[in-house]
Structure 1
Amino acid sequence: MNQTKQLRKMIAPFERNDKTASVRQLLNTIPPFILLWIAAYASLQVSYALTLLLSALAAGFLIRSFIIFHDCCHGSFFRSRKANDALGTLLGILTLFPYEQWKHSHNIHHAGSGNLERRGTGDMWLLTVKEYKEASAWTKLRYRIYRNPFVLFVVGPIALILITYRFNEKGARLKERRNTWLTNAGIAVLYSLLIWAIGWQSFLLVQLPVFWISGAAGIWLFYVQHQFEDSYFEHEEEWDYVKAAVEGSSFYKLPAWLQWLTGNIGYHHVHHLSPRVPNYHLQQAHEAAPPLEHATTITLLTSLKSLRFNLWDDERRQFVTFREGIRRAAEPPLRSTGRPA
């Protein structure tokens, strides 16, 4: 409890949004995205290689737009709730994410991140070694397909963003359902206008790489910030919010330009500790709280190891590969001392 209070006290000064900083971020994110998209279209007359390069840059600014959307979902971008909701809905049309639906599932993710009894909403599908061992052949096959990198990062953006998020969850509130309908209508109008203006072929040649690159990168960022070897997952009775934030969310140390494009989301441990901290204060909050130096730090190179981790070893409290998980499932269970029974 003392550690919790201490960390909260250190982080508290950074939970206040700055209207000037928020507006500045909007201005250095949305206009550049629009200009890069237009430049990518214009480059079709020069070289499609140049189009892909410009589309990749536009995708980076779309990711940055999503981080603003993400802050709006937490009510941290503007002081006004109405302003956050209005901007979040508009950015949801741009990024293809229904604001109310995503806000609901993402808040559930925050409330139970790292809690083995609260998996299933707003997070990656995760099985423990024991669960995988006891699963049916059909479930094991589906899980292996889901965890395949090609499915996660190539098929994933299409399945999740283009299809899943176009529909409401069963039992969704009326406000959430209406927002999804509004988002879908907004996307239809925006895309129809662009297709009318430049033709469907040109639209697809520009928008598809923008969509896929930003979608795959977004899924990767979410994946790698919780799927590292010594992450944190506990059962309800042992789960702790602060430990889940600091130990179960990585500090993704990126090059300065990537950190800027991704809106400091690499400071994910700070974000989970306090979602009220706007993205432009995350680095300052991290540096002001010495205990956060102990958060797991990963880099672009070391983060690639996460592709190997597929199962959570509940006894040893670490991620393992399918091969390691199958081998460990056949071993005698561990006592509390860590030795075979």
Structure 2
Amino acid sequence: LILLSAGFLVRIFIIFHDCTHGSFFRSRRANSFWGRVTGVLTFTPFHYWKSSHVRHHGTSGNLDRRGQGDVWTMTVAEYKNAPLKMRIRYRLYRNPAVMFLLGPLYIFLVSNRFPGKNASKKERMSVYGTNAAILIMASALSLLLGLKVYVMIQFLILYAGLIGGVWLFYVQHQFEDVYWAGNEDWNFVDASLQGASFYKLPLFLTWFTGNIGYHHIHHLNPGIPNYNLPKCQKDIPVFGRVEPIGLISSLKSIRYRLWDEQHSRLVGFRSIRSLDS
């Protein structure tokens, strides 16, 4: 039941995600209202996350504009020339246990609770309002179920859902032949169709993940709601040229840690082992 509930939580987050793009409903007001509601359920402030995510769409795959809601990715040259402390920090960040077990807890339980120093007033109020709503929700459910029971159930469902969500985001932009380019050569269409994956999952996982596996289409046009993405894939020939990544083959993405500018692909630490000596 925990995993099933976590699956529904992932689907709720995809609805939240579409609401931030203003695409899930035709009504702007409906997107804003339900975006806030689903944001509380997923512990994510609507307007604050929306701003960060819009920047991610505008900079994805751009080597000169990294750090906008993406996975920290160093180039081979940067890693080679980095001081030892930076290399250790990067290796820790890229460690699967940190990335997928500790990272989700930090992002959603800590980072999302505090606005950044450059956040606008609207974004700050989004964070504080979401925090207040979460507190009210948690208090009400604790009174109904008991504090211990609520915390245990909420944590297990949230944690399982967060791990799945972070994995999805990781696979969407961390695969061997992904697109990265400097600012002068960066192209939005290429960054969308080559820099975002077509993650082909079994039907039941496709449903729970709200068709987010069609990420190449979503990045090209974030105004398309998730429920229309499969139709776009079927009806528009250019999308059929994007090579899909399967559930099993996606596991290889864990070992891709650095961008090799010479060969235009992601590589693992093992391929540059000599750099650490």
State whether TM-score is above 0.5: yes
- How much has 1:293 moved relative to structure 2? 1.5
Q: Which residue of 2 aligns with 1:189?
A: 136
- How much has 1:79 moved relative to structure 2? 2.0
Q: Which residue of 1 aligns with 2:98?
A: 151
2: distance between equivalents of 1:80 and 1:325?
51
Is 1:169 matched with 2:99? no
Is 1:103 matched with 2:50? yes
1: distance between equivalents of 2:194 and 2:220?
10
- How much has 1:171 moved relative to structure 2? 1.5
Is 1:218 matched with 2:165? yes
Unaligned runs of 5+ in 2: none
Q: How does the TM-score come out when normalised to structure 1?
A: 0.79
SS in 2 for 1:252: strand
Is 1:262 matched with 2:209? yes
2: distance between equivalents of 1:195 and 1:148?
35
SS in 1 for 2:194: helix
1:293 counterpart (240, 243, 263): 240
Q: Which residue of 2 aligns with 1:114?
A: 61
1:85 counterpart (32, 37, 46): 32
Q: Indicate if the aligned counterparts of 1:311 and 1:325 stay in contact, CA closer than 8 A.
A: no
Is 1:141 matched with 2:88? yes
Is 1:306 matched with 2:253? yes
Q: Which residue of 2 aligns with 1:15?
A: none
Aligned identity (percent) is 49
Unaligned runs of 5+ in 1: 1-53, 331-341
1: distance between equivalents of 2:273 and 2:265?
14
> Residues 10-64 of structure 1: CA distance to partner in whole angstroms, max 9, x if unpaired?
xxxxxxxxxxxxxxxxxxxxxxxxxxxxxxxxxxxxxxxxxxxx11101101100
Q: How does the TM-score come out when normalised to structure 2?
A: 0.97
Q: How does 1:1-341 map to 2 (within 5 A)?
A: 54-327=1-274
- How much has 1:326 moved relative to structure 2? 4.2
SS in 2 for 1:298: strand
Runs of 4+ in 1 over 3 A off after TM superposition: none
Q: Indicate if the aligned counterparts of 1:313 and 1:325 stay in contact, CA closer than 8 A.
A: no
2: distance between equivalents of 1:325 and 1:277?
40
SS in 1 for 2:210: coil
2: distance between equivalents of 1:296 and 1:166?
38
How many residue pairs match? The answer is: 276
Q: Considering only CA atoms, is the larger Rg found in Structure 1 or Structure 2?
A: 1
